[in-house]
Structure 1
Amino acid sequence: MTGSALCRDCAAAVRGDSPRCPKCDSRRLFRHPELHALPIGHIDCDSFYATVEKRDRPELASLPVIVGGDDHRGVVAACCYVARMSGVRSAMTIREALDRCPDATIIRPNIAKYKEVGHQARAIMEAFTPLVEPISIDEAYLDLTGVEERLSISPAQALAEIVHRFERDLRITASIGLSYNKLLAKIASDLDKPRGFSVLGRADGAAFLAPKRVTILWGVGPALERRLFTDGITRVGDLQDKDEHWLVKRYGAMGRVLFNFSRGEDNRRVQPESVSKSVSSEETFDWDVTTLSALSQELRPLAEKVARRLEREGLLGRSVVLKLKTRDFQQLTRSRRVEPTRSAETILAAGMALLEREADGRAFRLIGIGCTDLTHPDSAPDPELDLFGA
């Protein structure tokens, strides 16, 4: 790809240093030395819940909107950028949010609607590459390696066209991060919101990260940040100065991750959902969830989704796996053997038995459930034969 710039409105590659796109006359041109050579993208929808609500209620387009509880209870699940200008943030109590932005319109969340739009957005992404790894309902990684051979456009152009289709077909906006790995693509997508397009190339990574707080790195939550601070490590540059052996000795396996991430190195691949080894479904919360009742409410629709996928793939699961992630990104995985099944009730019952042991008041940001040790019905053992030891 010889184009030196990208038009963010029509996705054209623009040669030379013209201030306007020759195709659509837009001034929204983006330039970077590695622009058309980087394959990994991260797309993050802008204030997704609030944007969908404003789409469906045009009279609120220029007004502050908060998606969350009612006037007296609950927390902010999402808010538009107008509300953010008044200091409103996700996970803030509704009462505090209204103190800061008393003119805001409060809308109760409609998760089913948001999921439908999220699925439509994923379908648009998958039209450009099968390598789409959803992170939550409104964001995903994409590996666009080979898109130039298939579609005669660069990965950067593909990302711009995807977001253009979001705006045209779904009437939502999104921000783009482009890099050579997942870590930096995710970081880049947060740099220029809303409707942003940011690039972190191979020549940028380590130097860009050095002055940033360690919390910019994936996996560094409040608990790990406190441990790092105790050791005098507050910036990524402090990690860059540390020997890998020292970091591993001090922080275990996470020490090696910190050593690599601090230098802009990340060998994780973009992993689309696969049924070859497991079938699972998970949900990332917009606020921390601590109670068994709230967690169990999220578990049922996930179990039903897993059951539908097993049915569609003609598979049975012989182990149920529960996945939880704490607010400081500690991941817990628990499993239980079951008779070969694709029943949502069986999957849910096993998941609930595992969940009851873990829901002890800790704050969780993600819950998931799935089946592993998959088999086809004609190869599954007869439960009655197993019962009698035949």
Structure 2
Amino acid sequence: MQTGRSIIHVDMDAFYAAIEVLDHPQWRGLPLVVGELGPRSVVSTASYEARRFGVHSAMPTLTAKKLCPQALFVPVRMARYREISAEVFAVFGEVTPEIEGLSLDEAFMDVTRSLRLFGGEVENIGRYLKQEIFSRTGLVASVGMAHNKLLAKLASELSKPDGFLRVRPEQVHALLDPLPVGRLWTVGKVAEAGLHRLGIRTVGELRFAEPRRLRQACGNQAEHWQRLARGLDDRAVDAEAAEKSVSAETTFVTDLTTLEQALSWLARLAERVGERLRAHELRGRTVTVKLRKPPFETHTRQLSLAHPTDSTDALIDAGRTLLRRWWEAEKNPSLRLLGIGMSQFAAEVQGGLFVPAAGSDTLADRINRRFGQGSLVRGVVLKSRRSEEKDP
């Protein structure tokens, strides 16, 4: 069993909801749902007061309303959440450079090389993280500590809210064995149901399952799952993990039923993506368009560019090509959701004749940063804004 590393997993408690309460103290203690109430809106997160009623992330907000009629529903304020996230990750950076961010409010850290600076105990680092995050942001973090990522994440999850738990090597089986088998990483709902059919419901039962029988039923995953059941996980904290894609999407209150509407909205979303690409100094080669027909039939289309780019115009052109092809191939096209993204980023881009210039984009970015987002937009984008204003 691996014992040579010290891994910490930090997960902020009900992050978006906690920020809303921080900014609006009068909401403290109320069942709070982050996500606007609407026929196609979903819950981004919910306070623990709302979770007691069965409200959870990704649930339709109308369902959440039925479960908790007295809940307060508030809109998502992503810019504010990113601002607080930057403060939280700044604390992480004071402990170790080996940080693998999973989302705005969650990260793994390998603190093995930092132990001596904190008296040789991983708990000292965990306490420092909790205290500093609370001191600087007023928010509570749950901290899990172990010798691998699997156990560190389980430790933070099992000790929430306001969690603080270290799993020592000699405690692994006592922690894991009673847990439902679905709590293991990579064991999803379908796999869990398959294991149940074999009579395997707990991690301990998986650990002691006969390997040959398990392999016959589960195939190549059998050995992997049994390693996890023993508490074994060789994954390193990937501090070099780069952003794999930049995208923007929106779900419409009223389905889009004309190509003109869809093209206009696509341009609006592409402007968001282009600005993010330039802000992060990223240039990509692959454009992806995401299209969802009502009720939930999702399609994706991709196009690879000749050269990496961060140009909004190049993104719009490629996106329009993909959208037109899909629209013309459909018998009764309509869109419930539309998105566009860029991926396959170049590590380093050489300037040249074939790399689209982004001078006008950069100027637009500066104007929007100075005078407010959306101060300068393309004419085609105004059409999507007008249609949005007409929506009930």
Q: State the match for 1:49 in structure 2.
A: 16
d(CA) in 1 for partners of 2:218, 2:342: 29
Pick one of 252, 263, 269 that aligns with 2:230: 263
d(CA) in 2 for partners of 1:322, 1:251: 33
Q: Where does 1:159-238 land on structure 2 (aligned, <5 Å)?
A: 159-238=126-205
Structure with bigger helix share is 2
Pick one of 355, 368, 374 that aligns with 2:347: 374
Question: Cα gap change, 1:39/1:354 in structure 2, threshold over 3 Å: closer, same or farther?
Answer: farther
d(CA) in 2 for partners of 1:260, 1:299: 44
Q: Is the 8 A contact 2:181 2:201 kept in 1?
A: yes
Letter in 2 for 1:164: Q
Letter in 1 for 2:286: V
Pick one of 244, 255, 258 that aligns with 1:280: 244
Deviation at 1:107, TM superposition (A): 0.6
Cα RMSD for the two superposed structures = 4.2
Q: Gaps spanning 5+ residues in structure 2: where?
A: 250-254, 257-261, 291-299, 327-339, 356-392
Question: Cα gap change, 1:306/1:207 in structure 2, threshold over 3 Å: closer, same or farther?
Answer: farther
Q: State the match for 2:375 in structure 1.
A: none
d(CA) in 2 for partners of 1:352, 1:201: 54
Deviation at 1:230, TM superposition (A): 2.9
Q: Is the 8 A contact 1:320 1:351 kept in 2?
A: no
Letter in 1 for 2:188: G
Q: State the match for 1:132 in structure 2.
A: 99
Question: Cα gap change, 1:381/1:95 in structure 2, threshold over 3 Å: closer, same or farther?
Answer: closer
Deviation at 1:252, TM superposition (A): 4.1
Q: Is the 8 A contact 1:247 1:255 kept in 2?
A: yes
Deviation at 1:150, TM superposition (A): 4.0
Q: State the match for 1:320 in structure 2.
A: 286
Deviation at 1:183, TM superposition (A): 0.6
Secondary structure of residue in 2 paired with 1:266: coil
Letter in 2 for 1:154: E
d(CA) in 2 for partners of 1:213, 1:244: 19
- The answer as to 2:280 corresponding to 1:309 is yes
List per-residue Cα deviations over 1:126-162 (Å, max 9, x = no partner): 1211111111121111111111234546332122211
Q: State the match for 2:74 in structure 1.
A: 107
d(CA) in 2 for partners of 1:284, 1:142: 28
Question: Cα gap change, 1:89/1:246 in structure 2, threshold over 3 Å: closer, same or farther?
Answer: same
Q: Which moved more, 1:189-198 or 1:301-310?
A: 301-310
Tell me the number of residue pairs that the alignment of Structure 1 and Structure 2 aligns.
323
d(CA) in 2 for partners of 1:352, 1:234: 49
Letter in 2 for 1:163: K
Q: Which moved more, 1:333-342 or 1:57-66?
A: 333-342
Secondary structure of residue in 1 paired with 2:280: helix
Q: Which moved more, 1:152-161 or 1:187-196?
A: 152-161
Deviation at 1:216, TM superposition (A): 0.4
Question: Cα gap change, 1:336/1:182 in structure 2, threshold over 3 Å: closer, same or farther?
Answer: farther
Question: Cα gap change, 1:160/1:260 in structure 2, threshold over 3 Å: closer, same or farther?
Answer: same
List per-residue Cα deviations over 1:147-199 (Å, max 9, x = no partner): 12345463321222112122111111111111111111111111122211012
d(CA) in 2 for partners of 1:205, 1:377: 50
Q: Which moved more, 1:82-91 or 1:220-229?
A: 82-91
Deviation at 1:273, TM superposition (A): 3.9
Question: Cα gap change, 1:197/1:170 in structure 2, threshold over 3 Å: closer, same or farther?
Answer: same
List per-residue Cα deviations over 1:270-294 (Å, max 9, x = no partner): 112445xxx5246899xxxxx999x
Secondary structure of residue in 2 paired with 1:204: helix
Task: Give aligned-pair identity as a percent.
Answer: 30
Letter in 2 for 1:339: A
TM-score, normalisation: structure 2 = 0.68
List per-residue Cα deviations over 1:225-273 (Å, max 9, x = no partner): 2222233322222321235565455434433321211110000011124
Q: Gaps spanning 5+ residues in structure 1: where?
A: 1-35, 286-290, 325-332, 358-366, 384-390
Deviation at 1:110, TM superposition (A): 1.2
d(CA) in 1 for partners of 2:173, 2:342: 36
Question: Cα gap change, 1:162/1:205 in structure 2, threshold over 3 Å: closer, same or farther?
Answer: same
Secondary structure of residue in 1 paired with 2:170: coil
Secondary structure of residue in 2 paired with 1:75: coil
Pick one of 70, 83, 89 that aligns with 2:50: 83
Q: Is the 8 A contact 2:14 2:47 kept in 1?
A: yes
d(CA) in 2 for partners of 1:352, 1:41: 44
Deviation at 1:97, TM superposition (A): 2.9
Deviation at 1:114, TM superposition (A): 1.2
Q: Is the 8 A contact 1:38 1:155 kept in 2?
A: no
Q: State the match for 1:251 in structure 2.
A: 218
d(CA) in 2 for partners of 1:171, 1:264: 34
